[in-house]
Structure 1
Amino acid sequence: MKKVLMVLTNASKIDEKHETGLWLSEFAEPYNEFKKRGFAVTAASPEGGKIPIDQNSVEDNIPDDFDEAIGVLQNTEVLSTINVNDFNGIFLPGGHGTMFDLPDNQPLKNALKHFAENNKVIGAVCHGPAGFVNTKLSNGKWLVDGVNMTGFTNEEEQQTGLAPMMPFLLESLLRAQGAKFEGAAAYSDHVVADGRFITGQNPQSSQSAAESFADALNG
């Protein structure tokens, strides 16, 4: 059985006036796809425990098939306790929370370095690639250097109205660290697969990114 590690944010606030967290569909849709494919899924976060959900991502009628995923979010593993050798792939869902606690999390950096250097599958969607920034490989190169990828674009961030509150612009920093960033029209379904490195641009890309990631995992 293939095993997938999903790494989530614990950050619940942008500032005192703006709450944030995980974008629900960016976890639930990939989680459901991975389970449908027969993968074992472990959810982890820097602090473990319950994951804050961005209330902007919660619709009046949450799909019934999100129930299991929501249950998983009530008690995640502490990332630093995870043995990454046990997993075939790592996937980072988004939500603005990721911009605050994932970029400088050392256990995540160590995990990503392991997955990259052992030719395992790496995936993310929307703000999830925030977890990639400032991560270096053993040869000193940035994790994203030379990688064809996508993520939440500067244009999309400007449209949220939250850009001035972000610690950095995701597209800009990924480009600065050598990523060959490919953005499509704002809020269109867009996925970039570069070998075993799979990224989706925004919430609309969650399902497609999950399918592409699962295909790569199945080889």
Structure 2
Amino acid sequence: MKTFHALAASLALILAAGSAHAGHVLVVLSDADQLELKHGKTFATGFYLNELMQPVKLLLDAGHQVSFATPLGRAPTLDRGSIDPMYFGGDAAALRTHQTLLEKLALTSPETSPVMSLARVEQLGYDRFDAVYVPGGHAPMQDLLDSPALGRLLSDFHSKNKTTALVCHGPIALLSTLPQAHQFSTRLAQTGKASAPPDWIYAGYQVTVISNQEETIAKPQLKGGEMKFYPQTALEQAGARYRSNTQPWSSNVVTDRELITGQNPASAVDVAKELLQRLK
């Protein structure tokens, strides 16, 4: 039954594409529904509604095909804290529209989700996809940062100069391309410092990600917990050149070669617009 619904959902997305020149975008999400914090604490999380659905809706409205994957092929989890009109410019109707689309796609339903595993994506072949998009929420900090399967996908895209877009906590996924990604993140969590090979594929790239300042402002969300490290620090220590907004929580998009990165939830629409330009 799950296979039938997954195929039906995929067919619906293909039919939505409509255009002979439509692009095919792979959206990669986390399998995680919680983030491990310091001192054995955890924080319930997932993907942010606007960071996923605003770009997905814009892509579908423009006639592109969208497929979804997680490292293990599990239905991803919606961060309940992101169900808030403030992430949609205070527009409650826009919030409902994007919630309705999420429900229609059935992404979070364990029985009917069309989500593939990254192993399945690799079997199908990376060449069928024109771009990859990774939304945020804290969940990518749990598994996308050191997923070997994601590292292979992003490395392939990098080698072919194919558009790679990420927003908020999503850019932490770039670390998955490090030769020893898990060891890098472990050292950073334990000591606050880690080094990456100088020939890391994204070394010297200008990128953005949720800033240390914004993480500090948002720290009360963790209910007394503390993250093992911040993504800005991780990307800087890996060798990326970090660019931030001076105004927290305002949109900031940085493009460098094939990479499009957005700093925070407010950046999701602008990242999607840049992605749409690349797909023309």
Unaligned stretches of 5+ residues in structure 1: none
Pick aligned residue for 2:201 from 124, 129, 143 = 143
| Mean Cα deviation higher: 115-124 or 64-73 | 64-73
| Number of the residue aligned with 2:82 | 57
Specify whether residues 110 and 17 from structure 1 end up closer, same or farther in structure 2 by C-alpha distance, changes over 3 A only.
closer
- How far off its partner does 1:51 sit? 1.1
Q: How many Å separate the matches in 1 of 2:57 and 2:176?
A: 30
**3-state secondary structure, aligned to 2:78:** coil
| Number of the residue aligned with 2:218 | 160
| Number of the residue aligned with 1:20 | 45
Q: How many Å separate the matches in 2 of 1:212 and 1:198?
A: 7
Q: Would the aligned equivalents of 2:261 and 2:271 in 1 still touch at CA under 8 Å? A: yes
| Number of the residue aligned with 1:108 | 150
Percent identity, please: 29
Q: How many Å separate the matches in 2 of 1:66 and 1:211?
A: 20
| Number of the residue aligned with 2:100 | 67
Unaligned stretches of 5+ residues in structure 2: 1-21, 86-91, 180-196
**3-state secondary structure, aligned to 1:124:** strand
**3-state secondary structure, aligned to 1:42:** strand
**3-state secondary structure, aligned to 2:142:** helix
Specify whether residues 40 and 140 from structure 1 end up closer, same or farther in structure 2 by C-alpha distance, changes over 3 A only.
farther
Alignment of 1:175-214 (within 5 A): 175-184=236-245, 185-214=247-276
CA RMSD after TM alignment = 2.0
State the Cα deviation string for residues 161-204 of structure 1 (Å, max 9, x = none): 14963232100111111111101021011111113210110000
State the Cα deviation string for residues 53-100 of structure 1 (Å, max 9, x = none): 111101275321442234432311111110212101111000001100
2:231 partner amino acid: L
State the Cα deviation string for residues 97-116 of structure 1 (Å, max 9, x = none): 11001011111000000000
Q: Which has the larger radius of gyration?
A: 2
Richer in helix (by share)? 2
With normalisation by structure 2, the TM-score equals: 0.72
State the Cα deviation string for residues 14-56 of structure 1 (Å, max 9, x = none): 2565211111110000101111221110011012132111111
Q: How many Å separate the matches in 2 of 1:173 and 1:208?
A: 24
- How far off its partner does 1:129 sit? 0.6
Q: How many Å separate the matches in 1 of 2:239 and 2:136?
A: 21
Q: Are 2:27 and 1:6 aligned?
A: yes
Q: How many Å separate the matches in 1 of 2:258 and 2:35?
A: 32
Q: Give the paired residue count.
A: 217
**3-state secondary structure, aligned to 2:145:** coil
State the Cα deviation string for residues 107-137 of structure 1 (Å, max 9, x = none): 1000000000001001100000111114148
